[in-house]
Amino acid sequence: MTGPTAAETSADGAFVRQPYRFRGRFSRDGSTAFPAEAGRYRLYVSLACPWAHRAIIVRNLLGLQNVISMAVVDPVRDERGWALRDGSGHERDGVCGFDFLSEAYLRSDASYEGRYTVPCIWDTRTERLVTNNFPDITIDFETEFVDFHAPQAPELYPAHLKSEIDALNDVLYRDVNDGVYKAGFATSQAKYEEAVHALFARLDDLDARLASSRYLVGGQLTESDIRLFTTLVRFDAVYAIHFKCSVRRLVDYEHLWAYARDLYQRPGFQETVNFDHIKRHYYLTHEKLNPSRLVPVGPAVNWNAPHRREALP
């Protein structure tokens, strides 16, 4: 994600995330929304972005790689926004022909003036963006693309746990997922401290919760675990330093750290984590937070160390 614009910092110094303009949804049979079809849609992601990372993990876990194509943007943004290029030079998106993600936004709405965010989904048939509203994307993958799920795909948003997952997701978003951004982009001491205290109070609660349960909800892997994981995996490498979320590190939490390793070591997670993209994006893009644009070395932690959580209920 990028740094805030003036419109995203309130008068009292609080970070306020911009609304997401494109909010199309999918439906299994196409009767109420964009139809869930194979080969029609293209997911645009950054490997650095935690919101996009959710969509990548869910796509992997459900076996949708051959159903929804995916393009990865360059991790280092400039004034032109997210670019579609590889490490050797500039490359157009081979499917949609974009040089920059902004082209998808402006082709969908020529008057669009917001930030060009990931994740977003492009409809190759109507040639417009369906959605850039990240909370909806994984839910629709889980509930509307069910006809294309792999035979052994996990049920990440089961109906009997929906209310509990939704309630937990609300506090995870408020205090943790967006909480690190509220701390990192605050422009007043009061708003920074408010965000940091809420963040670590929630992490303390989660650490206690995970002492006796392998997962967050219902004794099984769910949408909530994925939402928490993408913040935890960035915590020590970025948020503790870059966003001043330094009260405690992830590795200082007995249960959260073991839980994060447990998820990381599952098929569908580890191969989606790219610490090079993560660190280069945050430290090279947010010049107001890191004017020198130096990328820290480390942290030297072993994500493949035994987690010993198999016996938990």
Q: Specify whether the CB–CB gap between 269 and 278 falls below 8 A.
A: no
Choose, from 181, 192, 239, 283, the residue flagged as catalytic: 181
Q: CB neighbours of 157 closer than 8 A, spacing ≥ 6? A: 139, 142, 143, 165, 222, 223
Distance separating alpha carbons of residues 61 and 57, to the nearest angstrom: 6
3-state helix, strand, coil split of the chain in percent (to 5) is 40, 10, 50
Helix (H) / strand (E) containing 35: strand 34-35
Angle made by CA atoms 133, 181, 216, in degrees to the nearest 5:
70
Residues marked as binding for glutathione?
82, 115-118
Three-state DSSP at 167 gives: helix
* Residue 173: active-site member: no
Q: CB neighbours of 48 closer than 8 A, spacing ≥ 6? A: 75, 274, 277, 278, 280, 281, 282
Choose, from 44, 49, 96, 253, the residue flagged as catalytic: 49
Residues in the chain, overall count:
313
Distance separating alpha carbons of residues 259 and 210, to the nearest angstrom: 7
Distance separating alpha carbons of residues 297 and 300, to the nearest angstrom: 8
Helix (H) / strand (E) containing 41: strand 41-45
Residues marked as binding?
82, 115-118
Three-state DSSP at 52 gives: helix
* Residue 49: active-site member: yes
> Which are the catalytic amino acids?
49, 181
